[in-house]
């Protein structure tokens, strides 16, 4: 996949805690070693990613990774989505200076621009579209909420244009915006009883000043969101093109593989190009000839002889061997249910990945 110069965007998705960021970073590093110009983008506040790449921090602009392995012929940048800053950039780029100033200074915008439902995923798409224009990116698209929210929302960015459009077209927003759209004193004469009642109620609940902030914000954005929807649709189309590859990342656990099945089905439903599935943290069995049952029998014999230290080592091996068998059975069941989908296994490492050497090791396993 990385050797194919037609591949320009790689999206790593999956449930929480399965190693999406590490997988994306390992792929990005390997692509750079293969001569590609790469930027890895994370939505997570991933300090460990910055550390593993030798960077002190990540922000909304690409930062060059300097400590690449000797002989690397490509380049690697890393960045982390700053949703608020990306939203500000969109406002500045797609509205008049007067409208942009009005929106950015609006107290309601300042309070909620980082917390709209769907905004994070939408801004990830905005940043993807903007960056993909001049780089060959390997990307990780997830969310900082992933460890605490249903993992299926990791594909929310596919629904972001529709959700944001539904928000703007919703009845509540139309009711809020109506008095301001009707305009001034003339509008007050035209407004019907229903709108007037809603406005009065909202003024009572929210307060007159906050309601005016909301109305001003909604009407200022109203001139922009046609462009928002159009750009989101273009990005959505970009993700379906042949130069994009999705990787579903999972762990050898029943729930994680069940979620991976959902991701595979959802991507197929949306016509997104699935490159394969990565199963991280597989338990290797260093002594495959020594099964868990045989190790337990040997441990019992050694315990009777008073050789407790050797018995303890065999008990540890028995646990490891049993875990390895369980992991293998779960992956076999998954592959049987998804024939034809490439699956790559990555063995669990003795410690967390915290440097370029660790990322290279992961990259080598991803490459088989």
**Helical H segments across 141-287, by residue range:** 160-169, 171-182, 184-190, 193-206, 208-222, 225-239, 254-269
| Residue pointed to by tokens 């980082």 | 114
What is the architecture of the domain spanning 9-92+116-159+242-283+328-366? 3-Layer(aba) Sandwich (3.40)
β-sheet bridge partners, residue 244:
9
Instruction: Give the pLDDT score at 209.
Output: 58
Instruction: Give the pLDDT score at 240.
Output: 84
Cα 187 from Cα 133, distance rounded (Å) = 45
CB atoms within 10 A of CB 150: 11
Query: CB of 14 within 8 A of CB of 266?
Result: no
Cα 301 from Cα 304, distance rounded (Å) = 5
**Per-residue confidence of the chain (368 residues) as pLDDT tens digits?**
999 989 989 999 888 889 898 999 999 999 999 999 999 988 765 577 788 888 887 888 888 999 999 999 999 999 887 777 877 887 887 778 887 888 888 776 776 666 655 566 667 777 777 777 644 444 444 433 333 333 444 566 676 656 655 555 545 455 455 554 444 444 444 444 443 444 444 444 444 555 566 666 666 665 565 566 676 677 778 788 778 899 999 999 999 999 999 999 999 998 999 999 999 999 987 777 788 888 888 888 888 888 888 888 888 888 888 999 999 999 999 999 999 999 999 999 888 888 899 999 999 999 98
Instruction: Give the pLDDT score at 190.
Output: 42
**Joined tokens for residue 90:** 């969109």
**Joined tokens for residue 174:** 């139309």
**Joined tokens for residue 170:** 């919703």
Report phi then psi at 271, rounded to 5. Answer: 70, 25
Cα 133 from Cα 155, distance rounded (Å) = 22
CB atoms within 10 A of CB 43: 25
Domain residue extents for the chain: 9-92+116-159+242-283+328-366, 292-326
End-to-end CA distance of the chain: 12
Report phi then psi at 245, rounded to 5. Answer: -135, 130
| Residue pointed to by tokens 């790593």 | 12
β-sheet bridge partners, residue 41:
79, 139
Cα 95 from Cα 81, distance rounded (Å) = 22
Radius of gyration of the chain (CA): 26
Q: 247, 269, 358: which is closest to 18 by C-alpha?
A: 247
Query: CB of 33 within 8 A of CB of 74?
Result: yes
Instruction: Give the pLDDT score at 35.
Output: 95
Instruction: Give the pLDDT score at 119.
Output: 64
């Amino acid at each position: 996949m990385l050797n194919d110069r037609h591949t320009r965007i790689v999206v790593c998705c999956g449930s929480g805690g399965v190693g999406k960021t590490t997988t994306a970073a390992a792929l990005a590093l390997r692509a750079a070693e293969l001569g590609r110009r790469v930027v890895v983008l994370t939505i997570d506040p991933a300090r460990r990613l910055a550390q593993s790449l030798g960077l002190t921090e990540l922000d909304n602009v690409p930062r060059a990774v300097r400590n690449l392995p000797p002989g690397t012929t490509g380049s690697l940048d890393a960045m982390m989505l700053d949703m608020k800053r990306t939203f500000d950039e969109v406002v500045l780029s797609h509205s008049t200076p007067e409208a942009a100033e009005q929106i950015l200074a609006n107290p309601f915008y300042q309070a909620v621009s980082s917390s709209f439902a769907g905004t994070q995923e939408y801004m990830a798409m905005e940043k993807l579209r903007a960056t993909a224009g001049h780089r060959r990116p390997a990307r990780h698209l997830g969310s900082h909420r992933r460890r605490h929210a249903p993992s299926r929302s990791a594909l929310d960015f596919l629904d972001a244009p529709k959700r944001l459009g539904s928000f703007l077209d919703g009845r509540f927003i139309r009711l809020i915006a109506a008095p301001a759209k009707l305009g001034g004193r003339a509008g007050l004469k035209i407004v019907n009883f229903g709108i007037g009642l809603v406005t009065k109620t909202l003024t009572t609940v929210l307060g007159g000043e906050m309601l005016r902030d909301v109305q001003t914000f909604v009407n200022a954005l109203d001139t922009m969101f046609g462009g928002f929807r159009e750009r989101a649709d273009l990005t959505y189309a970009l993700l379906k093109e042949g130069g994009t590859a999705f990787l579903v990342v999972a762990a050898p656990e029943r729930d994680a593989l069940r979620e991976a099945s959902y991701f595979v089905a959802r991507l197929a439903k949306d016509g997104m190009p699935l490159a394969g599935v990565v199963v991280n943290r597989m338990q290797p069995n260093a002594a495959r000839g020594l099964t868990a049952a045989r190790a337990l029998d040997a441990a019992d014999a050694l315990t009777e002889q008073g050789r407790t230290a050797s018995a303890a080592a065999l008990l540890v091996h028995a646990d490891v061997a049993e875990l390895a068998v369980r992991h293998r059975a779960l992956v076999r069941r998954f592959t049987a249910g998804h024939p034809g989908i490439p699956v790559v296994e990555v063995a669990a490492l003795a410690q967390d990945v915290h440097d370029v050497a660790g990322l290279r090791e992961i990259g080598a396993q991803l490459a088989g």
